[in-house]
């Protein structure tokens, strides 16, 4: 579908009316792209069959700019929710998709975003089963906001919960941190670095599921450190479990150019948002095997052991720095990077 075939250059208020213009937008761009037996009913809802424990997660995506190095808001909206469902130990299956579009969004941009959603959904193995499209007047939104809600069957081998975490558990990361946040930030600030930083947005569900199948209940927790970064997520976990966490600065996977960008902008990479990164907390006995297993996967090839759960300093995260000092890692307080996802 091109804007010529669609007949409009930009999204109009009428495309959110619930009348013929809405139907036309849906028929030509949405139903066309995502066609599947659920969506083809063209109703306000869909009916699916479930049996057992289902993980559900919802997220609204308001990232600015909507196109960035390494992705766009459409991919983010799929991968973000797919990953949240995966972090529950589940296999994502279905997504709902709701747009809030600002009048005047270019149809070309909308089509690009919709195509990215389709591609990411296919790659993650999820189907778009129902949706919604609203249009707000110019100046009452910001191009496009996307909400996705995801559903998936919990892997019966999974026993994921913070309460299973024990003293001595090891903390691993699947790859380089701070890439998504610094990609967005560099672009917003118009900074050019030696080589370009790209968002790490990607689906993590297959690797996560493989880990559960391989290691079962010895895996105690998955978490994706998006907004607030690794520091905020680890702080939350250590408070929830009332145990200490120690991390080793020199073990945290961080690309040189990302580190440089952080330094220029005065940001601590530990607080910068990630999209293709997850933390996994495992029984000490399997830590080395998990690391090896992850390193064999494309999504985990830069995996690293970064720390452990301790009896000391309960509810606090302590970082042992490269030069030997220790500092408490507090959670992010307010806004470091607004509208990062």
Question: In the window 52-71, what residues touch a copy of itself (CB under 8 A)?
Answer: 52-62, 64
Contact by Cβ (8 Å): 106, 10: yes
How many angstroms separate the CA atoms of 305 and 310, rounded?
15
Residues of span 193-232 touching a copy of itself by CB under 8 A: 224, 226-228, 232
Using CB under 8 A as the binding rule, whether residue 328 contacts a copy of itself is answered as no
Q: Which stretch binds a copy of itself (CB under 8 A): 18-26, 164-172, 296-304, 307-315?
A: 18-26
Binding segment toward a copy of itself, per CB under 8 A, in 42-50, 69-77, 256-264, 315-323: 42-50
Position 335 contacts a copy of itself (CB under 8 A): yes
Judge contact between 157 and 213, C-beta under 8 A. Answer: yes
Interface positions, 19-38, toward a copy of itself (CB under 8 A): 19-23
119 binds a copy of itself (CB under 8 A): no
Which of 54, 286 has the CB closer to a copy of itself?
Answer: 54
Out of 131, 175, 244, 307, the residue judged to bind a copy of itself by CB under 8 A? 131
Report residue 29 as tokens.
């761009």
Identity of the residue, 140 or 301, whose beta carbon is nearer to a copy of itself in the bound complex: 140
Give CA–CA dist 130/242, Å, rounded. Answer: 40
Note whether 145 binds a copy of itself by CB under 8 A.
Answer: yes
Asked whether 299 and 211 are in contact (CB, 8 A), the reply is no
Interaction between residue 286 and a copy of itself (CB under 8 A): no
45 contributes a contact to a copy of itself by CB under 8 A:
yes
Residue 268 CA to residue 229 CA, distance in Å, equals 10
Contact flag: residue 151 with a copy of itself (CB under 8 A): yes
Cβ 82 to a copy of itself shortest distance, Å: 11
Choosing from 7, 27, 43, 196, the residue that interacts with a copy of itself (CB under 8 A) is 43
Instruction: Name the β-bridge partners of 144.
Output: 101
Q: How far is the CB of 118 from a copy of itself (least distance, A)?
A: 17
Instruction: Kindly tell me which of 291 and 319 has the beta carbon lying closer to a copy of itself.
Output: 319
Residue 174's closest CA among 87, 105, 77?
87
In the region spanning residues 93 to 112, those forming contacts with a copy of itself, defined by CB under 8 A, are 94, 96-100
> Alpha-carbon distance 106 to 159, whole Å?
45
Query: What is the rounded distance in angstroms from the CA atom of residue 202 to the CA atom of residue 299?
Result: 9
Residue 259: CB atoms within 10 A of its CB come to 15
∠ CA(325), CA(326), CA(331), 5° rounding? 140
Count the residues of the shown chain that bind a copy of itself, applying the rule CB under 8 A. 78
Task: State the nearest-atom distance from the C-beta of 60 to a copy of itself, in Å.
Answer: 5
Q: Which of 82, 85, 184, 212 binds a copy of itself (CB under 8 A)?
A: 85
- 154 sits near a copy of itself (criterion: CB under 8 A): yes
- Token reading at 237: 């976990």
14 binds a copy of itself (CB under 8 A): yes
Are 236 and 323 within 8 A, CB to CB?
Answer: no
Contacts for 296 with CB less than 8 Å, ≥ 6 apart: none
Q: What is the 3-state secondary structure (H, E, C) of 226-256?
A: CCCHHHHHHHHHHHHHCCEEEEEHHHCCCCH
The site string for a copy of itself over 252-281 (x = CB under 8 A, - otherwise) reads: -------------------x-x--------
- Give the integer Cα–Cα distance in Å for 341 and 221: 23
Q: How far apart are CA 313 and CA 256, in angstroms?
A: 31
Minimum distance from residue 324 beta carbon to a copy of itself (Å): 28
Stretch that binds a copy of itself, among 48-56, 113-121, 200-208, 299-307 (CB under 8 A): 48-56
């Amino acid at each position: 579908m091109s804007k010529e075939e669609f007949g409009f250059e930009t999204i109009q208020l009428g495309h959110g009316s619930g009348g013929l213009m809405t139907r036309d937008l849906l028929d030509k761009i949405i139903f066309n792209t995502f066609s599947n037996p659920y969506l083809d009913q063209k109703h306000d809802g869909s009916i699916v069959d479930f049996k057992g424990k289902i993980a559900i997660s919802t997220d609204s995506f308001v990232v600015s700019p909507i196109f960035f190095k390494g992705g766009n808001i459409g991919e983010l909206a799929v991968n973000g929710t797919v990953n949240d469902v995966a972090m529950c130990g589940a296999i994502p299956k279905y997504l709902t998709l709701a747009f809030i579009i600002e009048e005047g969004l270019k149809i070309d941009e909308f089509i690009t975003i919709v195509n990215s959603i389709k591609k990411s959904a296919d790659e993650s193995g999820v189907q778009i089963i129902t949706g919604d499209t609203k249009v707000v007047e110019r100046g009452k939104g910001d191009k496009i906001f996307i909400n996705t809600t995801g559903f998936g069957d919990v892997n019966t081998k999974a026993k994921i919960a913070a309460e299973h975490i024990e003293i001595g558990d090891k903390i691993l990361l699947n790859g380089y941190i701070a890439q998504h946040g610094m990609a967005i930030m560099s672009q917003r600030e118009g900074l050019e670095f030696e080589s370009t930083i790209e968002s790490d947005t990607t689906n993590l569900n297959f690797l996560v599921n493989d880990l559960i199948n391989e290691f079962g209940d010895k895996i105690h927790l998955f978490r994706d450190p998006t907004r607030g970064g690794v520091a905020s997520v680890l702080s939350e976990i250590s408070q929830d479990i009332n145990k200490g966490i120690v991390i080793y600065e020199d073990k945290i996977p961080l690309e040189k150019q990302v580190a440089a960008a952080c330094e220029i902008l005065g940001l601590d990479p530990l607080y910068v948002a990630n999209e293709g990164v997850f933390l996994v907390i495992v029984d000490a006995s399997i830590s080395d095997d998990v690391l090896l297993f992850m390193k064999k996967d494309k999504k985990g090839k830069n995996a690293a052991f970064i720390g452990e759960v301790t009896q000391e300093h309960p509810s606090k995260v302590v970082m042992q720095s490269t030069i030997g000092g220790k500092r408490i890692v507090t959670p992010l307080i307010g806004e470091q990077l607004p509208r990062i996802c």
